[in-house]
């Protein structure tokens, strides 16, 4: 026993033992390295698979988006138009064609509706219309308007929208004009006038495929204080535009281009210069 222990101790001191020990140590280290490599490699593989999966998912979603695009184009083709089916009560009293108020020059594509005030307190729509008509004889001045809205909310049409009125200066060629009657110097519209102007503007916006914001003041064209009350009170003008927008939202129905064209039918041609005598809004 003693002897064996002695031999063992001697053996442990031997170079052979040390060499084998070192060899074992190296082998262990190698095994640890292999184990670590396996663990890290496995983890890396899992991450790679996850990344690939996420990539596939994302590109799958992108693929869906590109599939959805043709649908959007289809929707564009079937663009919806807002149309107010209930036409305002328009009393058509066209002026006699003449160089001073109804020159018979065609309008181009209508891009704005221009609101004016008569600057003649207490006068009626009919009186203003007749004044425009009288210019064919008096030659006093050149002025007119497509529509005049009166104190009772009545709407008189003086000129077809396919023809120019003499109302909005350099914008006569592509605008429709509305003169509004008022009771006093402030130029404020009474409720009847106001409501009819909102209704008429909304209807014209839909007719010419415009937005409420496309309704402008004479002031916005030339800087003239017209319509005075809405120039003096910007907030009231903003409210008016909002009221036109609200009227459109509340009363317009969506139509496809085909439905819209069928709805307007002949009257749609008023923007394309037919014979003056056939240009009534009806």
Residue 231 as a binder of Zn ion (CB under 5 A): the answer is no
**Residue choice 83, 110, 116, 175 for contact with Zn ion (CB under 5 A):** 116
- Closer residue to Zn ion, CB minimum distance, 116 or 171: 116
Task: Quote helix, strand, coil % in the chain, to nearest 5.
Answer: 55, 15, 30
**Residue choice 94, 162, 226, 241 for contact with Zn ion (CB under 5 A):** 226
Residue 217 as a binder of Zn ion (CB under 5 A): the answer is no
Residue 218 as a binder of Zn ion (CB under 5 A): the answer is yes
Distance between CA 248 and CA 205 in Å, rounded? Answer: 9
**Residue the block writes with tokens 């592509």:** 174
- Closer residue to Zn ion, CB minimum distance, 198 or 226: 226
- Closer residue to Zn ion, CB minimum distance, 114 or 198: 114
- Closer residue to Zn ion, CB minimum distance, 220 or 259: 220
Tell me the closest approach of the beta carbon of residue 187 to Zn ion, in angstroms.
10
CA angle 257, 260, 263 (to 5 degrees): 150
Burial of 206 (0-12, 13-18, 19+ CB in 10 A): buried
Candidate ranges 33-41, 58-66, 109-117, 235-243; the one touching Zn ion (CB under 5 A): 109-117
Binding mask of the shown chain, residues 167 to 206, with x at each position contacting Zn ion by CB under 5 A? ----------------------------------------
Residue 207 as a binder of Zn ion (CB under 5 A): the answer is no
Token pair for 66: 């590109």
Strand-pair partners of 178: 115, 147
With b for 16 or more beta-carbon neighbours within 10 A and e for fewer, the 170-191 pattern comes to ebbebbbbbbbbbeeeebbbbe
The number of angstroms, rounded, from the C-alpha of 211 to the middle of its chain's C-alpha atoms is: 7
Residue 164 as a binder of Zn ion (CB under 5 A): the answer is no
List of residues contacting Zn ion (CB under 5 A)? 116, 218, 226
């Amino acid at each position: 026993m003693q002897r064996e222990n002695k031999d063992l101790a001697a053996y442990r001191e031997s170079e052979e033992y040390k060499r084998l020990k070192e060899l074992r140590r190296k082998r262990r280290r190698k095994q640890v390295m292999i184990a670590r490599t396996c663990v890290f490699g496995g983890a890396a593989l899992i991450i790679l698979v996850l990344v690939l999966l996420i990539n596939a998912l994302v590109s799958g979603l992108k693929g869906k988006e590109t599939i959805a695009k043709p649908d959007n184009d289809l929707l564009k083709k079937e663009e919806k138009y807002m149309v107010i089916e209930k036409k305002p009560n328009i009393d058509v009293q066209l002026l006699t064609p003449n160089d001073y108020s109804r020159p018979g020059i065609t309008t181009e594509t209508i891009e704005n509706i221009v609101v004016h005030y008569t600057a003649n307190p207490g006068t009626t729509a009919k009186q203003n219309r007749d004044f425009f008509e009288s210019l064919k004889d008096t030659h006093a001045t050149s002025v007119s308007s497509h529509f005049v809205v009166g104190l009772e909310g009545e709407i008189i049409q003086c000129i077809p929208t396919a023809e120019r009125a003499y109302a909005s200066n350099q914008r006569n060629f592509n605008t429709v004009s509305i003169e509004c009657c008022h009771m006093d110097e402030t130029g404020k519209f009474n409720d009847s006038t106001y409501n009819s102007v909102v209704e008429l503007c909304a209807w014209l916006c839909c007719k010419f495929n415009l937005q409420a914001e496309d309704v402008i003041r004479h002031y916005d064209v030339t800087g003239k204080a017209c319509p005075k009350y809405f120039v003096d009170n910007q907030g009231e003008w903003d409210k008016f535009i909002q009221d036109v927008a609200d009227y459109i939202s509340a009363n317009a129905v969506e139509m496809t281009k085909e439905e819209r064209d069928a709805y307007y039918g002949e009257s749609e041609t008023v923007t394309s210069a037919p014979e003056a005598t056939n240009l009534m809004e009806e």
